[in-house]
Structure 1
Amino acid sequence: MSGTTRTSADLDVRRKQILYRSWHRGMREMDLIMGRFADSEIGNLSDEDLAEFERLIEVTDRDLLGWITGEIETPTNYNTPLFRRLKAFHTHTSPIHN
């Protein structure tokens, strides 16, 4: 079970791949953070936002989780508007937020 609550039937191939990768990261906490954000936002992301989200998917789970929770300072080149949306989404909606 992937955890996704969103159907991918109406998505183009790129968005389907991003949605899948968001829910299959390796660390369950990051599956929930990235997957829930993708479920909510994937249909509305611009091409630029999609590229940035794909870049975030490539970051290791431990680093990305640390940036999102504030345990590790976010590098300047990753502290983008999309990353801040992801972080705010997690802070306001996640049951795993500290």
Structure 2
Amino acid sequence: MPDAAEPTLDPRRRRLRYRAWHRGTKEADLIIGAFVDRHIAAFDEAELDELEAVLELSDVDLADWISGRRPVPVELRTPMLTRILDGAGR
């Protein structure tokens, strides 16, 4: 997890970045953490809210959706989750 951008982020973004890199499984850390590192500075408040919702999802579900083992339930297909999954090469 790179720390160079850390001081320039506001507290909410730093907290979300930390949560993205400390999910519980290394695979989720790498996929979600890398996505957040690339985009967090540009997210508006609504996108930060969406990111927080994604971070509440389980690693097991995210791994299944990323790998294509299971489709993402319609009610969870948010623009943010779609961006993360597309960025993971799904």
Under a length normalisation based on structure 2, what TM-score does the superposition of the two structures give?
0.91
Distance 1:48 1:89 in 2: 20
Query: Which blocks of at least 5 consecutive residues in structure 1 are unaligned?
Result: 92-96
Secondary structure of residue in 1 paired with 2:6: coil
Distance 2:27 2:17 in 1: 16
- Please say if residues 54 and 80 of structure 2, whose CA atoms lie closer than 8 Å, have aligned partners that are also in contact: no
**Larger helix percent:** 2
| Higher alpha-carbon deviation: 45-54 or 21-30 | 45-54
Distance 1:7 1:57 in 2: 20
Aligned length: 90
Alignment of 1:1-98 (within 5 A): 3-4=1-2, 6-91=4-89
Shift of 1:34: 0.6
- Please say if residues 19 and 38 of structure 1, whose CA atoms lie closer than 8 Å, have aligned partners that are also in contact: yes
Distance 2:58 2:33 in 1: 15
Under a length normalisation based on structure 1, what TM-score does the superposition of the two structures give?
0.84
- Please say if residues 28 and 63 of structure 2, whose CA atoms lie closer than 8 Å, have aligned partners that are also in contact: yes
Identity %: 36
Query: Which blocks of at least 5 consecutive residues in structure 2 are unaligned?
Result: none
Distance 2:68 2:45 in 1: 27
Shift of 1:5: 5.7
